Amino acid sequence: MRRVVVLLSCLAIGFTPGCALHRSAEKSLAEKRTREKETRTAATEWLALIDSADYAAAYAMEPKRLRAATTEEQFVRSMESRRAPFGKMLSRTFIGAAFTRKLSGAPDGRYESILFRTSFANKSVAAERVILSYESDAWRVVDYRVY
């Protein structure tokens, strides 16, 4: 009888939606979804500037620490050489996102890596990776790669 009571108690605790573990998992999932939505929005807004070749505006959206390390002219030249060969963006599909607190060559912080499958006029199948950092109360692009 004692075993039955213990077993039923454990099952009741494990399956109760109000338990602390369940609430914690729900909160974590909700936070992840909110963060992914925020970073995805920031990434697509930044990519829209890159797509329209408004590199100066994209540069202005970068964190101050990156703008201090490179001039606008250097950034524009870098983006022109990276993106121009691919031509016009035709379509872009979100693939996924990953959160980390560490990024090689950068201070510890809050980083989100967003991956897109993109089709360009001169490359039908490509991948774009946008890495964002949470700085000054906003998600800001700190790295961009196109493959």
Per-residue pLDDT of the chain (147 residues; tens, 9 = 90+): 555 444 444 434 444 455 444 455 566 888 889 999 999 999 999 999 999 999 999 999 999 989 999 999 999 999 999 999 999 999 999 999 999 999 988 899 999 999 999 999 999 999 999 999 999 889 999 999 999
| CA 137 – CA 134 distance, rounded (Å) | 7
- The reply to whether 25 falls in a domain is no
| Residue 71: inside a domain | yes
- Give the CATH number for residue 122: 3.10.450.590
In a domain, 10, yes or no: no
Residue 100 belongs to a domain: yes
Distance from C-alpha of 124 to C-alpha of 54, rounded to nearest angstrom: 23
- 14 occurs within a structural domain: no
The total number of structural domains in the chain stands at 1
Q: Is the pTM of this model over 0.85?
A: no
In a domain, 76, yes or no: yes
Cα of first residue to Cα of last residue in the chain, in angstroms, is 64
Residue 51 lies in a domain: yes
C-alpha separations of 90 from 22, 56, 81, 120 in Å = 42, 22, 19, 5
Q: Within a domain: residue 19? A: no
CB count in 10 Å sphere of residue 131:
19
Structural domain boundaries enclosing 85 = 33-146
* Helix ranges, 61-135 (H): 64-69, 72-83
Tell the burial category of 17 from Cβ atoms under 10 Å away from its Cβ (0-12, 13-18, 19+): exposed
| SS3 at position 1 | coil
